[in-house]
Structure 1
Amino acid sequence: MKRYKNGLLASIILIIAANLVPTKISAQDLSGNISISGAFALYPITVKWAEEFKKTHPKVKIDIQAGGAGKGITDVLSKVTDIGLVSRDLNNAELKKKAYAIAVTKDAVIPTISTTSPYKAVLYKRGIKKEALNNIFITGKYKTWNTLGFKSTAAIHVYTRSDAAGAAETWAQYFGKKQEDLQGVAVFGDPGLAEAVKRDPTGIGFNNIVYIYDTKTNKPTNGLVPIPIDLNNNGKLDPAENFYNDIDQLIAAIVAGKYPSPPARDLYFVTNGKPNNPVVKAFIKYILTDGQKYVTEAGYIKLPNEKLKKELEKVK
């Protein structure tokens, strides 16, 4: 009888153990490949998410390629990749082709100049008006720095993006225009545009936050500094407008709505129709839950909890 009870107890323990193990095994046993391409804006944080995800899912392989939002959309709609990284809202044509967008984080496009710019100190005292930016990037009326009130006839060297870019589209939207309306020398990619402006003391461009600030020091890096925008057009940079000294100040201003949207905007993972691949779904669910703890430290803005829940419903 004692032997029977011991055997029965052992059986019960085995059953309980068997029911407890699957959750742990399922994470380890999740396997497959995920291919991703698209926006430079999302590339750094997506790499971080992939690294962390693979620590608990070592059998999942994730290939990530930056190439601009346009490439991300083209690749995912043609089923070349599983996920497209897109740094702008989808248009009607893309939605009709079953592009399915899931917001994963937020950032902003910021106007930039080189740290060697002779106009930097004055711009940080008075900022730059939206109208002036429009006349530089859209109408082309402002071609020399004296049109901005400087005692210099040096040409304003304007730089924009050559690739179909969410950053360029969003920057153009700030002026009610499209990317093709932007003036300037076209340069490929966020890193390329940052490098072009960095090397040119009389240049002006725009970049996503993560290509301007060092997320370790929270200060502008890469030889670039943001150009503060004179939001109330009073010809000076008021304390409430001066939030560019470090990334935490800028993020707080974006969250509070002080920095305009556009050029602040949501960033998206886009799939071809609602995702049904278990591996892709697991990765996106991770990003919208545990993966959010890496967002702020990587230089991005976390979406509100209610919005994260809403986006998570799109994957369930």
Structure 2
Amino acid sequence: MKSVKAILAAAALLVFNQTFAQESPNEVVITGVRFAYPLVEKWIRDYKAENPQANLRIETRTITDPAKYDLLIEAYEQEKEVRETREYISVGRYALLPIANAKSEFAKEYADKGLNEKTYKQIYFHDIYAEKDKTLPSNYTIYTRLQKAGAPLTFARYFGYVQQNIKGKTIAGADEHLIKALLKDETGVSYTTPGLAYDLQTRRPVEGLTIIPVDLDGNGRVSKEEKALDNLDQVIAAVEADKIRNVPVEYLHFSIAKQNSNPEAKKFLLWVADHADKDLHQFGYLKGEPKRLADEKQKLEKFAAVK
């Protein structure tokens, strides 16, 4: 009898512990755009070093978001109805660069020639009204995202289109799946973030990829300086300069629900607002406008103070 009671007591204790762990107020579930995970993982490690009691984890987004999460990281601005229900902090910006399989004829030609706005539009978008350049090659294959996502939305909007106007093969999955598909196809051409286009340790382009230069100053041609794409830090510095052209740039946002939000998640967001800048360049991101971050942080502080 004692052994049965002991087993039942142990079972009850296990259930209690599991329930307590699931409902722990220190657990913070984060999800959202997958190309940001390496950066977010760095922030989680640093935050937990200062707050050992915290339990933060990323739950990987698939076709949809997880059923339950505390923080959402997104690469585009949501619709008004969604924004009204959440508090936001703009943690940095990302750029989108044209890329090609390094063995492709496209890479060999355009690594030297580069892209201006006219050729950009004709290569990447369906547009019956666009002026045609008959000298463009035909032996290339554009790869783009199937699902609605930050990178293709930002890429299309910058040039005056919608995501559905992007040409080519649509790939299910995340942004890194575009690169995997492109590396298998010697005609492959796409677009991606610097954090995926470059090796973050060596700061050089990922093996097998060619970063295609673009007309950054809008003068209609690509200069020698604009072709200098071998070093990630130089690229970030060039793209952060004022009034550049032909490089889509958008903010990366963290958001939290205004109602019934997790106190530890609020605390983590404030920590990110104070610490984000020092890690952005390392992971291929651009710094944001200081005033924008300061204003959003002030709003977040007021929100976090509400119990």
Q: TM-score, normalised by structure 2?
A: 0.79
Q: Would the aligned equivalents of 2:35 and 2:176 in 1 still touch at CA under 8 Å?
A: no
2:232 corresponds, among 247, 252, 257, to 247
Correspondence for 2:252: 267
1:218 corresponds, among 203, 220, 223, to 203
Deviation string, structure 1 residues 241-268 (Cα, Å, up to 9, x no partner): 3342211111112211354486111100
Which SS does the other structure have where 1:295 is aligned? helix
1:36 corresponds, among 27, 30, 36, to 30
Tell me the distance in 2 between the aligned counterparts of 1:260 and 1:231: 5
Correspondence for 2:9: none
Percentage identity across paired residues of the two chains: 26
Distance 1:211 1:269, change over 3 A: same
1:165 corresponds, among 124, 149, 157, to 149
Tell me the distance in 2 between the aligned counterparts of 1:261 and 1:89: 20
Paired residues in the alignment total 273
Tell me the distance in 2 between the aligned counterparts of 1:51 and 1:168: 30
Q: Would the aligned equivalents of 1:31 and 1:59 in 2 still touch at CA under 8 Å?
A: no
Correspondence for 2:46: 52
Q: Would the aligned equivalents of 2:88 and 2:296 in 1 still touch at CA under 8 Å?
A: no
Shift of 1:129: 2.3
Unaligned runs of 5+ in 1: 1-29
Distance 1:275 1:128, change over 3 A: farther
Distance 1:216 1:32, change over 3 A: same
Correspondence for 1:88: 76
Correspondence for 1:176: 160
Tell me the distance in 2 between the aligned counterparts of 1:274 and 1:244: 45
Tell me the distance in 1 between the aligned counterparts of 2:29 and 2:76: 20
Tell me the distance in 2 between the aligned counterparts of 1:220 and 1:195: 14
Q: How does 1:265-304 map to 2 (within 5 A)?
A: 265-273=250-258, 276-304=261-289
Q: Would the aligned equivalents of 1:102 and 1:314 in 2 still touch at CA under 8 Å?
A: no
Q: Would the aligned equivalents of 1:140 and 1:183 in 2 still touch at CA under 8 Å?
A: no
Q: TM-score, normalised by structure 1?
A: 0.77
Deviation string, structure 1 residues 211-243 (Cα, Å, up to 9, x no partner): 101111111115222211234666642135334
Distance 1:261 1:111, change over 3 A: closer
Tell me the distance in 2 between the aligned counterparts of 1:129 and 1:260: 9
Unaligned runs of 5+ in 2: 1-23, 302-307
Tell me the distance in 2 between the aligned counterparts of 1:274 and 1:252: 39
Distance 1:275 1:167, change over 3 A: farther
Alignment root-mean-square deviation, CA: 2.6
Of structures 1 and 2, the one scoring higher in RCO (CA 8 A, sep 6+) is: 2
Q: Would the aligned equivalents of 1:114 and 1:197 in 2 still touch at CA under 8 Å?
A: yes
Q: Would the aligned equivalents of 1:87 and 1:265 in 2 still touch at CA under 8 Å?
A: yes
Tell me the distance in 2 between the aligned counterparts of 1:236 and 1:194: 27
Deviation string, structure 1 residues 11-37 (Cα, Å, up to 9, x no partner): xxxxxxxxxxxxxxxxxxx96111111
Highest Rg: 1 or 2?
A: 1
Letter matched to residue 83 of structure 1: L
Distance 1:231 1:262, change over 3 A: closer
Distance 1:260 1:92, change over 3 A: farther
Q: Would the aligned equivalents of 1:170 and 1:262 in 2 still touch at CA under 8 Å?
A: no
Letter matched to residue 101 of structure 1: Y
Distance 1:305 1:230, change over 3 A: closer
